[in-house]
Amino acid sequence: MKGKVQTVCGLVDPDSLGRTLTHEHLFMEFDVAYTPAREQEKQLEQCEFSMGNLGWIRQNPYSHRPNLKFNDVSTTSAIEEEMAVYKKSGGGTIVENSTKGLNRNVNFMKDLTKNHGVHIVAGTGYYVEAAQDKQTLKVSVEEMADFMKKELTVGCEEGADVKCGIIGEIGCSWPLFEFERRVIKASGETQSATGCPVMFHPGRHHEAPEEILRLYSEAGGSMSKAVMGHLDRTIHELDGLLEFASLGSFCEYDLFGIEISHYALNTAVDMPSDAQRIARIRHLIENGFGEKILLAHDIHTKHRLTAFGGHGYSHIFNNVVPKMLDRGISQDEVNKMLVHNPKNWLTFAK
């Protein structure tokens, strides 16, 4: 696989990827994120998607039960439409980050590629401890590594003719659970053995990303093949951001399109706007880290799809890139973030 990218439809040349979003979801359940609504709003937890309810759903995305079902017929139908638009908007590749605990469907991903001509890269591994069943929580480091290596080199458990192209997203909490420490170790060992790309979902604390990379590198993982996702909601101080970037992993801003400051999964911090994301990215570029930045939306709930009143998978191309150019980020730097950096990350080293 050295020098190639593994998609759900086979190995491809890295130069064929085109513009790439490195952290999205196309089929999953996110019940693990359910957050109870306030008592006076309990009746809205099962409300229908409508203009009258959409404002509340946007403010409380994890309290709306139907919003967390990202795998029903209405969702898959909407995503079929989204992929057609994504292709027309100049999209080439999507990296799908659903792993064990999120009810991944690689066969659906394969159908999307065949229907719309968009490369899709599937992820293997394990999401956070809270998403796992009791049997999975007992799995050893060796068993985890064997499982991930098999999905990367032989085939997936629910689609034997489909291979994964990355490890991740590897779900981590703060503080880390012992299960998650084992997963990080297994990820580092598997990366070292295969040369594959790796994606981490850090716990919601500014110290979480550095701890994850330390454990990963101690297990043999290459920093040049690691991505730390969700930096939007994790590291908010510019000095801390530069300090983390100096460790050598890719830095991913993958929550574009979320313009609600209230962050239900960590109310201690404010979710940044797209404009603030762009400002932080420009700061990284100005300090020499332009070749280490990746972009995505991390769409994982219905309300962010255009069919349900959201921004959709083409938001970065259509709305964010023009604002980046307006804010002094050059087209060359944009191309790095959307084409060159994803290509470099996704290409197998062995």
Residue 158 — pLDDT band, cuts 50, 70, 90? confident
What integer is the mean pLDDT of 291-316? 98
Q: What is the pLDDT of residues 220-266, one digit of tens each?
A: 999 999 999 999 999 999 999 999 999 999 999 999 999 999 999 99
Q: Residue 159's pLDDT is what?
A: 83
Q: What is the pLDDT of residues 125-141, one digit of tens each?
A: 999 999 999 999 999 99
pLDDT above 90: residue 178: yes
Strands 69-70 and 28-29: antiparallel
Q: How big, in percent rounded to 5, are the helix, strand and coil portions of the chain?
A: 45, 15, 40
Residue 160 — pLDDT band, cuts 50, 70, 90? confident
CB 297 within 8 A of CB 253: no
Please tell us whether the domain made up of 20-346 is placed in CATH 3.20.20.140. Answer: yes
Domains of the chain, by residue range, sit at 20-346
Residue 343 — pLDDT band, cuts 50, 70, 90? very high
Please report, rounded to a whole number, the percentage of residues in the chain having pLDDT higher than 90.
99
SS3 201: strand
What integer is the mean pLDDT of 51-77? 98
Residue 157 — pLDDT band, cuts 50, 70, 90? confident
Please report, rounded to a whole number, the percentage of residues in the chain having pLDDT higher than 70.
100
Q: How many CA atoms lie within 13 A of 318 on its CB side?
A: 13
Taking the alpha carbons of 335, 339, 99, 166 in that order, is the dihedral positive or negative? negative
| pTM score of the predicted model | 0.98
Q: Residue 71's pLDDT is what?
A: 97
Q: Residue 66's pLDDT is what?
A: 98
SS3 268: coil
Q: What is the pLDDT of residues 26-36, one digit of tens each?
A: 999 999 999 99
> What does the mean pLDDT of the chain come to?
98
**Joined tokens for residue 123:** 């992820």
